[in-house]
Chain A
Amino acid sequence: MIMIKNIIALILLCCTIQLTAQSDKTFVVKGNSINHDNIPTNGKLDISKISVVNVSNKAIFLEWETVSNTFPKGWDCSMCQHGACQIGIPKGSIFKQLNPDQEGYIAIHVMPQNNIGNGQVKFKIYDRDHPDFFEIITFNVDAL
């Protein structure tokens, strides 16, 4: 009986920690965290964008990392984050400061260079000061 009580207490404790962690989150994805785009092989994906918003009451700095990138080798692509545009898709970087309620984003640009194929790039975004909480955003692109 004591053991069952301990297990229940442990479960309650875990739930409390989880809820506390949830309530501590400083940003959320605005809208869908997965984008799908189809483009002609001789065309351009001008922009595919996923936004996040600062839901805390103070300024935050979001960092991001590329989790995976399966875009075909022949594709030419790059990305922008809130505050800077990168050449190609690097391993990671940091957003410019996001004030309370302010939106930031990650966006990608693709030119398939006449190469048929599809690919996916995933980014992990996390608060520099609360790295345990993160969001994964995904861009799927088909060049037909």
Chain B
Amino acid sequence: MLTFSTVAQVNKLIIGRTTGVFELENKDSIRVFGFTNTLSGQVTLPGTTLEVIEGDTVLLDFWNISQGDPHEIVIKGIELTKTNTSAKEQLDQRVYHMEHGYYHFLAKNPGTYIYYCPINYPFNLQAGMFGVLIIRPQKALLNPKNKELLWCSFEMDTNWHNNEVMDVEYDEQATPLEWPAYNPKHFFINGKTNQQLKEQEMVLNISSKQTTVLRLANTGFWQHKIKFPQELNVEIKRTSNLKNSELNKLNQLTVDPLETFEIWITSQKKTKETIQYDFINPATNKVENTQYIPVKIQNNLLN
């Protein structure tokens, strides 16, 4: 049997920012922190997506071009080894203003992972310092025909995005950290909400002849319950979510904070339903907001 391997040393650049601008649906701009991979590129939510292949040896070059508190990268589910560029950084694991921090890891297990800044947790995460790492299996290279999508969902409380809150150097505070009560009023999937989810780039176009690989990541603080139309065959391939790891009879799954799923979707039937995202407040267990993503079945010859 013929096999091949493309294991490689891969370098990825992540630039840390604290002066990003994010546009809300009503065109209001708010300040965000975040991760990019260019010096002149605006911060996006989620930040730059890292893609590697199973078996790769990965070097993350984290360049902190921000002022105030230092920052750090962690990837949930992957142990990182860090080497530092300055004597100051030898004392701790953080990366200071205009320094590089180099993180190494072996991309051992295929899957979808969330990376984020754990400093001042959960503030920097809410501020926008999060992104997604995808480790593709070697065998995916043999079958590149599957269509792939990533949906990263999160809530946002704009009271956490005022300069008065964002400019505080918490690292130098003697008193315990305190932020405004978390009361999100904005709910996003890939940084889009409400009518924006009906735009072409967000509509889930499924071909009856092809499997669609959908990666789900929850970078918010609330539970996100996702209900798929019954006409869709949804199969969970991988998840980091040990507590809620199954699809229920309603074709519904729950993504807990900082958890991910990789699901495979096929369909032989048309549907008029949408994919429903419920944002659940853990304090009340109530659905506070619901977002809808349209579904279109293409090349449907069977129905």
Contacts and interface: CB of A to CB of B under 8 A. Distances in A.
Interface string A98-140: 0000000001011100000000000000000000000000000
B300 to A, nearest CB: 44
Contact of A87 (B43, B63, B97, B100): B43
A102 to B, nearest CB: 15
Interface string A78-104: 101001111111000000000000000
Interface in A52-92: 76-78, 80, 83-89
Given A83-B67, A85-B19, A87-B20, A77 B98 contact: no
Interface string B52-83: 00000000000101110000000000000000
Interface residues of B, number: 18
A47 interface: yes
Contacts, number: 45
A35 to B, nearest CB: 15
Nearest to B36: A87
Q: Main SS of the interface on chain A?
A: strand
Interface string B191-234: 00000000000000000000000000000000000000000000
A76 B38 CA distance: 7
B109 to A, nearest CB: 31
A87 B41 CA distance: 7
A24 interface: no
Contact of A85 (B40, B42, B66): B66
B18 interface: yes
Interface residues of A, number: 17
A43 to B, nearest CB: 12
Contacts of B17: 85, 87
Contact of B40 (A47, A76, A80): A76
Of residues B38, B42, B63, which shows the largest number of chain A Cβ atoms within 10 Å of its Cβ? B38
A37 interface: no
18 contacts: A46-B98, A76-B38, A76-B39, A76-B40, A77-B40, A78-B40, A78-B65, A80-B98, A83-B67, A85-B18, A85-B66, A85-B97, A87-B40, A88-B39, A88-B40, A89-B40, A109-B39, A111-B39
B42 A80 contact: no
A77 B39 contact: yes
Contacts of A78: 39-40, 65
B67 A87 contact: no
A102 B185 CA distance: 42
A93 to B, nearest CB: 10
Interface string B221-264: 00000000000000000000000000000000000000000000
Contact of B19 (A87, A107, A110): A87
Given A85-B19, A87-B36, A87-B39, 15 more contacts: A46-B98, A76-B38, A76-B39, A78-B65, A84-B19, A84-B67, A85-B65, A85-B97, A86-B19, A87-B20, A87-B40, A88-B39, A109-B39, A109-B65, A110-B39
Interface string B21-58: 00000000000000010111111000000000000000
Interface string B149-187: 000000000000000000000000000000000000000
Contacts of A109: 39, 65
Contacts of B63: 46
B84 to A, nearest CB: 14
Nearest to B66: A85
Contact of B67 (A46, A85, A89): A85
B100 A46 contact: yes
